[in-house]
Amino acid sequence: MMIHYGASNAQAFAVHHGSTPIGIAGTALTSPKALDVWGRKNTVTDINIFRSTAPGQQWGWTHESADINPLIRVIRTSTGTPVYVWEAEAPTDYSRQSYIPLLETDDYGVTVIPSGGSAVWITMPGETELGTIKTSVEASSAPSWATGTIWEGYSASELIREMFRNDQGRVGLRLHSTISEVFEWLHSKEEYDMYILLWLRTASKILYSHYGNTCIPLILDKFSVDTAGLVTLS
C-alpha cells in the first residue's frame, strides 16, 4: 500500500475511504475556515463526500491505496476555462472506477456547471504543453515556502527535478530526472499519467508557491479544456 494524495476546489466532492482529515492544499484562502460537513452520498454507493464552507477553497487529503490510475475531473465554462477541479492518484472507489467524484449540483439540486459549460475527464497534457510549463518553471524563482526546509537554496530547476524524483519514489515508479526523460521510456498509460500528474503538482508548487500536493492552481491559471477533455495552454 502507498500513500496517495487528492485535492479539489469544488464545494462538494468525493474523497477516498480512509482519508485523513482534509487540509488546505493549494493557494491559501483569503479568510480560512474550518471544514463544514463530512457525509455519505447514499447507502448504495457508500461514497464519502466532503462539503466545504464555500466553493473555490482548495482542499487536499491523503489515503492508502495500491492502485495507480490518476484522474483529473473538471467543470469548465463554455470557453474551456476550468472552474472546479478534482484530481487524485486513484479513483475514489476501486470497484466503481467510473464514479464521478465532482458533484455537479448543489444542496438544492441546482447545477454548478456554468451555462454552456460541461464536466469532463481531462486527458493529461502532452510533451508540447509540458515543455512550455517547464520553460516557465526554469525562468521562475524558488518559492518562498522553501525557506527553512531541506529545499532551501535550491533553484527552481533543481527543485522540480528533486521533488519530482521524490514523488516517483513514493509511488514506486522508475525514477526519472525530467518529464522529457519519462517519454524516452516505455510505460503503461497509467504510469505515464502518474508521472505527468506528479510533475504538474511539482511545477504548481514552484510557480504558485504552495506546499500542498495539488496542481489545481496551475490548472486554473494555465489550462483550457475542450468538450472532449483535451488540454491546451491558455
Residue pLDDT tens, the chain, 234 long: 889 999 999 999 999 988 876 788 888 665 555 555 566 665 566 788 888 888 898 999 999 988 889 999 999 999 999 999 999 999 998 888 788 999 999 878 899 999 999 999 999 999 999 999 999 999 999 999 999 999 999 999 999 999 999 999 999 999 999 999 999 999 999 999 999 999 999 999 999 999 999 999 999 999 999 999 999 998
Residue 36 lies in a domain: yes
Residue 225 lies in a domain: no
Return the pLDDT at 37: 55
Other CB atoms within 10 Å distance of the CB of residue 110: 7
Residue 62 lies in a domain: yes
Say how many domains are in the chain.
Answer: 2
Return the pLDDT at 130: 98
* Torsion angles phi and psi, residue 141, rounded to 5: -90, 160
Cell of 218: 496551475
Return the pLDDT at 232: 97
Residue 58 lies in a domain: yes
Return the pLDDT at 31: 57
Q: Which of 121, 145, 172 is the C-terminal boundary of a domain? A: 121
One domain, residues 106 and 133: no
Q: Which of 121, 155, 182 is the C-terminal boundary of a domain? A: 121
Print the domain residue range for 149.
Answer: 127-215
One domain, residues 47 and 82: yes
One domain, residues 114 and 29: yes
One domain, residues 43 and 6: yes
Other CB atoms within 10 Å distance of the CB of residue 174: 12
Q: What is the pTM of this model?
A: 0.94
One domain, residues 151 and 112: no
One domain, residues 137 and 206: yes
Return the pLDDT at 193: 98
One domain, residues 46 and 114: yes
One domain, residues 112 and 153: no
Return the pLDDT at 33: 58
Return the pLDDT at 27: 80
One domain, residues 8 and 73: yes
Return the pLDDT at 41: 62
Burial of 41 (0-12, 13-18, 19+ CB in 10 A): middle
One domain, residues 140 and 90: no
Sign of CA dihedral 165, 167, 170, 172: negative
**Alpha carbons 149 and 205: distance in angstroms, whole number:** 14
